[in-house]
Amino acid sequence: MAATTKSRAADAKFADMQKDTVEVNDKQYMTTDYGIKISDPDHWLRVASEKNTGPMLLEDQIAREKIMRFDHERIPERVVHARGTGAFGTFRLFESAADVTTAGVLTDTSRETPLFLRFSTVQGSKGSADTVRDVRGFAVKMYTDEGNWDIVGNNIPVFFIQDAIKFPDLIHSVKPEPHNEVPQGQSAHNNFWDFVYMHSESTHMNYWQMSDRAIPRSYRMMQGFGVNTYSLVNKEGKRHFVKFHFTPELGVHSLVWDEALKICGQDPDFHRKDLMDAIEAGHFPRWKFGLQLIPEEKLDDFEFDPLDATKVWPEELVPIQYIGELELNRNIDEFHPQTEQVAFCTSHIVPGIDFSNDPLLQGRNFSYFDTQISRLGPNWEELPVNRPVCPYMNLANRDGPMRHRITKGTVNYWPNRFNANPPAEPSQGGFTSYPEKQQGIKARALSEKFKEHYNQAQTFYNSLSEIEKLHLAKAFSFELDHCDDPIVYKRMTERIAAVSSQLAQTVATNVGGDLPSKSPKPNPGHKAKGLSQLEYQPKTPTIATRRIAILLADGFDFNAYTTMKEALASQGAFVFTIGAARQGVTAESGQKVVPDHFFSGMRSTLFDAVFIPGGKHVADGLAKNGVAKFWVTESFAHLKAIAGVNEAVPFIMKQIGLNEVRVAASDSALEDSYGVVTGYGDAPSTLKVGEVGPQAKG
Ligand code: HDD
């Protein structure tokens, strides 16, 4: 994949950040924060009695600065989405949306807009594992020429609740339970399933959350959705409602559950490392950016309310129009000032974009700014990662702790006798709200259509492939099995029946619920496009950035090893040699290779595929090593691609319990082969990379 040159605009944010960036080097002496050079950083000043055993002195300002600074170095972690990772990138527009908006970022195709994207999990705390079953956050901050525009979305297009007032209850229910702070990083507990049972509006989201979407293989292989409905307003003042979509170039891929569970322990940073490694290697992840648009006058034309965040806008009714591309192309330099201190607000929009009366969005618009003040203080927008790249100034928004900028002049209010810092007319780019007509009484109410909660959950379930349905049944069963209060798992199995009585039967059998005899709501069998993740395959299949392991022990075929390794690496795969010992393994022909890891150090779960060259190493090494054998068995159980040549073929067959693998040169035959590719002869001419090898025996 070609590394894209950094854009002018992306460089603008980079240059802006450089103002606050320092390099650590061996020329700059160590100083205190107030600038004096330090001569001895290792010993606290003390009364040096004869044996140097005297008391420490509080006078030591250098030691006190160090310890007290350290005592205060954490900021409160995010109340949700605490665990995350981010990167910088660029937004490019291919097609102007000037017919529906005046926003420069969506109309000027010559622009490249710098951005920061933070991915996250929702439930776990900052130190939790990456591969838990959870919704993933997808929060984008675009530093546009007209100010910052934040899209604070998820990898799932719908949400648990319809009204923002319920958010604290939802989050309290899913977070670790209050009496014992258990469990960490999962929704598999009584309180969560108790809460969502009480909210049938959560049903649709629960199905997405129990699908494979909630255990992504990589942040680079997930969709991003704005979820809420916003508005776009064009120069004639006409409004369209809009939903934002990001669709990954690499397709949508997931882990299998057993693998996800194991990776939580084996490499809790799996997703963050995956993102950083890909960017570092120049394989910049990209997402197509699309809009779904509903003209204002058509808002009531649907059987659901388009402003209800528990509903998708079916693509058959409202197609996605792809107009741009988001690319991540620069890793962060330091986690705390960038990924930890980045702060998003759903209320941060630019002229040409506006809100809607989506009751979830309206509440979010209040909450985010408020939480940033609590996390970072009122001057959070001055932090380098948060500040705009366009000129910005507000005479009245100043003071507060940690104010950084110095504003010269004698007035801090508007209007003032100098006409200093005047507002801009709309024609000069000043933001104006869409003049929506409003009339009504005050009431705590939602529109009638918000009361229907099952139709889209049924359509989602019906649209999944058989394997996705099977995974979903297992996920519901796992979660409810972790609930030990019978009222919780029994009631939830009844609720599942509102979507599929067959699924409810399976789950109830597994977890001990009552077997529902009939569904409280018949499922008419509607299916829709865009819901099964199998629909999102990369246009051009690639093994670039896929992690491929080559297993070796003493006596391996050096030629097969090197030719395969080079062939894989030439296509951008990340190839790792896993050997019996990191001391080194020796080939049949005498060459020594120092493996990247040894068998127990790095497990099969952390790779997408495995290759075993032939040679005496199979009988003398691999077949005698329990961990090496399990490597192959476990790879097979996790549906990984497995390849082997010559002596490795019978070894692989034995570990996976098959006598024969049928291999031919077509995709359907590849499926028949269970992803196992074997051959006799010279690798890789026997096993073509990206294709199935020509012939296999045995
Ligand atoms: Fe939220 C963080 C996504 C509903 C209140 N939310 C947060 C983040 C994401 C989302 C991705 C992490 C941002 C980051 O990386 O810093 N939230 C969503 C989506 C929602 C949603 C897609 C439904 C459409 N959120 C929601 C509601 C409320 C909040 C209804 C409150 C009324 N969310 C917050 C918050 C957080 C947050 C408490 C915690 C940290 C932060 O804001 O910056 O204000």
- In the set 81, 199, 271, 453, the catalytic residue is 81
- Is 322 annotated as belonging to a binding site? no
What pLDDT sits at residue 207?
98
- Region 243-247: what's the mean pLDDT? 98
pTM of the model: 0.95
- Region 303-311: what's the mean pLDDT? 98
Ligand 1 atom nearest 342 alpha carbon: 16
CA distances from 236 to 76, 107, 162, 210 (A): 45, 15, 32, 44
* Nearest CA owner, ligand 1 atom 15: 118
CATH topology of domain 84-382: Catalase HpII,  Chain A, domain 1 (2.40.180)
* Nearest CA owner, ligand 1 atom 35: 368
- Determine the distance separating the centroid of ligand 1 and the alpha carbon of 207, expressed in angstroms: 20
Task: Indicate if 547-679 has the same CATH topology as 84-382.
Answer: no
* Residue count (the chain): 698
Residue from 75, 77, 78, 381 to probe ligand 1 pocket by mutation (most atoms less than 8 Å from CB): 78
* Nearest CA owner, ligand 1 atom 42: 368
What pLDDT sits at residue 3?
39
Band of the pLDDT at 10, cuts 50, 70, 90? low
Residue from 140, 169, 225, 367 to probe ligand 1 pocket by mutation (most atoms less than 8 Å from CB): 367
Quick check: 644 pLDDT over 90? yes
CA distances from 121 to 229, 287, 458, 630 (A): 22, 19, 26, 31
Least confident of 66-75, 85-94, 113-122, 125-134: 66-75
Q: List Cβ neighbours of 162 (8 Å cut-off, separation of 6 or more).
A: 201, 308, 309, 310, 359, 360, 446, 450
- Region 426-454: what's the mean pLDDT? 95
Ligand 1 atom nearest 119 alpha carbon: 15
What pLDDT sits at residue 691?
38
Considering only CA atoms, which of 536, 628, 555, 480 is closest in space to residue 252? Answer: 536
What pLDDT sits at residue 695?
34
Assign residue 411 a region (left: φ > 0; alpha: ψ between -120 and 50; beta: otherwise).
Answer: beta
Quick check: 687 pLDDT over 90? no
| 631, burial (CB in 10 Å: exposed 0-12, middle 13-18, buried 19+) | buried
Ligand 1 atom nearest 226 alpha carbon: 22
* Nearest CA owner, ligand 1 atom 25: 364
- Determine the distance separating the centroid of ligand 1 and the alpha carbon of 287, expressed in angstroms: 21
CA distances from 573 to 4, 281, 368, 596 (A): 18, 10, 40, 15
Identify whether 154 is a catalytic site residue: yes
pLDDT tens string 374-401: 999 999 999 999 999 999 999 999 999 9
Q: List Cβ neighbours of 346 (8 Å cut-off, separation of 6 or more).
A: 150, 152, 228, 361, 364, 365, 368
Buried b (16+ CB within 10 A) or exposed e, 142-179: bbbbbbbbbbbbbbbbbbbbbbbebbeebeebbbbeee
Considering only CA atoms, which of 434, 285, 429 is closest in space to residue 354? Answer: 434
| Residue 52: other Cβ atoms inside 10 A | 9
Residue from 368, 381, 386 to probe ligand 1 pocket by mutation (most atoms less than 8 Å from CB): 368
Q: What value does the mean pLDDT of the chain take?
A: 93
- Determine the distance separating the centroid of ligand 1 and the alpha carbon of 7, expressed in angstroms: 30
* Nearest CA owner, ligand 1 atom 11: 137
- In the set 148, 154, 379, 523, the catalytic residue is 154
Quick check: 672 pLDDT over 60? no
Ligand 1 atom nearest 368 alpha carbon: 44
Q: List Cβ neighbours of 363 (8 Å cut-off, separation of 6 or more).
A: 163, 164, 165, 167
- Determine the distance separating the centroid of ligand 1 and the alpha carbon of 87, expressed in angstroms: 19
ipTM at complex level: 0.99
What pLDDT sits at residue 696?
33
Quick check: 693 pLDDT over 60? no
CA distances from 626 to 549, 580, 622 (A): 17, 11, 8
Q: Which architecture, in CATH terms, is 547-679?
A: 3-Layer(aba) Sandwich (3.40)
Assign residue 52 a region (left: φ > 0; alpha: ψ between -120 and 50; beta: otherwise).
Answer: left
Residue from 75, 79, 80, 340 to probe ligand 1 pocket by mutation (most atoms less than 8 Å from CB): 80
> Per-domain residue ranges for the chain?
84-382, 456-535, 547-679
| CATH 3.40.190.10 is right for the domain spanning 456-535 | no
- Determine the distance separating the centroid of ligand 1 and the alpha carbon of 117, expressed in angstroms: 14
Ligand 1 atom nearest 227 alpha carbon: 24
Quick check: 614 pLDDT over 80? yes
Reading the block at residue 96, the tokens are 């102007």
- Determine the distance separating the centroid of ligand 1 and the alpha carbon of 152, expressed in angstroms: 7
- Determine the distance separating the centroid of ligand 1 and the alpha carbon of 309, expressed in angstroms: 13
| Residues 340/137, Cβ–Cβ less than 8 Å | no
Q: What is d(CA 647, CA 623) in angstroms, rounded to the nearest whole number?
A: 11
Residues with CB under 6 A from ligand 1: 78-81, 84, 118, 120, 137, 139, 152-154, 159, 164, 167, 227-228, 309, 343-344, 360, 363-364, 367-368, 371
* Nearest CA owner, ligand 1 atom 28: 364
Band of the pLDDT at 134, cuts 50, 70, 90? very high
* Nearest CA owner, ligand 1 atom 4: 364
Least confident of 151-165, 309-323, 634-648: 634-648
In sequence order, what DSSP letters do the residues of 615-683 get, joined into one string? BTHHHHTGGG-HHHHHHHHHHHHTT-EEEEETTHHHHHHHHHT-S-----SSHHHHHHTTTEEEESSST
- Determine the distance separating the centroid of ligand 1 and the alpha carbon of 153, expressed in angstroms: 8
| Residues 621/554, Cβ–Cβ less than 8 Å | yes
Considering only CA atoms, which of 220, 250, 215, 222 is closest in space to residue 129? Answer: 215
* Nearest CA owner, ligand 1 atom 18: 153
Quick check: 562 pLDDT over 70? yes
Q: List Cβ neighbours of 220 (8 Å cut-off, separation of 6 or more).
A: 248, 250, 274, 275, 278, 285, 545
